[in-house]
Amino acid sequence: MQADGVFSGGGIKGLAFAGALEVAEERGYTDWVKLAGTSAGAITAMALAVGYSAKELRERLEAYDFKKIADYGAPLGIGEAENLLLRRGLTHGNGLHEWIVELLANAPKPAKTFGELEGEDRLRVVGVDLAHERMVVFPEDVDLYADDGGRRYVPEEFPIADAVRISAGYPYFFPPVTLKDAVTGKDGALVDGGVASAYPVFLFDKEQPGHPTWGFRLYGGLPPEQAPYQPIHGPAWPIDMLKGVLETSINALDKLELEAFKSRTIGIPTGNVSTLNFELSKQEKEFLYDSGRKAAEAFFKTKPKARNIFGASPPAASLPA
């Protein structure tokens, strides 16, 4: 069956999407028409857009050494300080970009630019330009920016890897990506879309949907009592507080969105797994996969109607029996 898929942010916790997608495929949803995501969700949406199945995605995630993403360069401490001063992030950010390029190149349906993807409006990913104080949806908003010759970027020609790298660029950890504003000529500072829209489930809504949009929403803690906790204390309290500010801005709407979009949202609890823990244990990885599976199984058992912001549901034949 056909469906659109939208995936939230959540950093390394995005591994849980693979488990939830396995269940969606078992329910018949193997034809993803349009896909969107923010941060880790952008990587997942991209992977589906170039033909990866849930099983293939999980195999890729299990095989990859995520420590490569934390490319500090010089020894820990020295490298972080140097990167913050020179690059405006704790890491170089190259490891993340290289992994995204690798996923695209080795995909069942490889693609480099948005125009090479199969289907109209196949993929959208969300970023934020801190310098210009705006949300940027790729590829449609790339014409806000121009190259060094003053030529505005063309959505179909824009590299998928660059857009996804922006969307997944957690502020202060990964350096912002610089694109030049086409009107002012001033450099933007493009970072993780979760700062503005961690769960853009509304992107594909229309008054008469032909198929459902299934949303995959990560949230911290465990239902119903255990909430996530970010301690802020000790000599490193400024860093703790900064992490708390960013996590709160990304996750503050958890309860509201899970309730408002519950007829089409698979809410996946991620316990106390840290967004930027690139050294997950085997047990933590299994917890995330299993959490995704259990959440999706429970969701589809409710026979959801996938009602959108117009109050409309798709035809019954496109919904789970």
Which is the catalytic residue, given 39, 167, 197, 274? Answer: 39
Candidates 38, 72, 43; CA nearest to 192 is 38
What distance in Å separates the CA atoms of residue 232 and residue 244, rounded to the nearest whole number?
8
DSSP annotation of 273 reads -
Token pair, residue 192, equals 């993780």
Report how far residue 82's alpha carbon sits from residue 222's, in angstroms, rounded to the nearest whole number. Answer: 37
Distances (CA, A) of 82 to 61, 86, 187, 256: 30, 6, 22, 40
DSSP state of 73: -
Q: Is 192 a catalytic residue?
A: yes
**Active-site annotation holder among 129, 162, 192, 254:** 192
**What is the full DSSP assignment across 77-119?**
THHHHHHHHHHSBSS-SHHHHHHHHHHHHTSSS--SBGGGSSS
Q: In Å, how far are 106, 127, 179 from 184, measured between CA atoms? A: 38, 19, 12
* Residue 303, Ramachandran bin (φ over 0: left; ψ between -120 and 50: alpha; else beta): left
Cα distance between residue 203 and residue 102, in whole Å: 27
Partners of 215 in the β-ladder:
6, 265
Lookup: tokens for 58 = 């999980």
The answer to whether residue 39 is catalytic is: yes
Token readout for 199 is 């769960």
Q: How far apart are CA 52 and CA 170, in angstroms?
A: 24
The C-alpha angle 233, 84, 68, rounded to 5 degrees, equals 95
Residues labelled as active-site residues? 39, 192
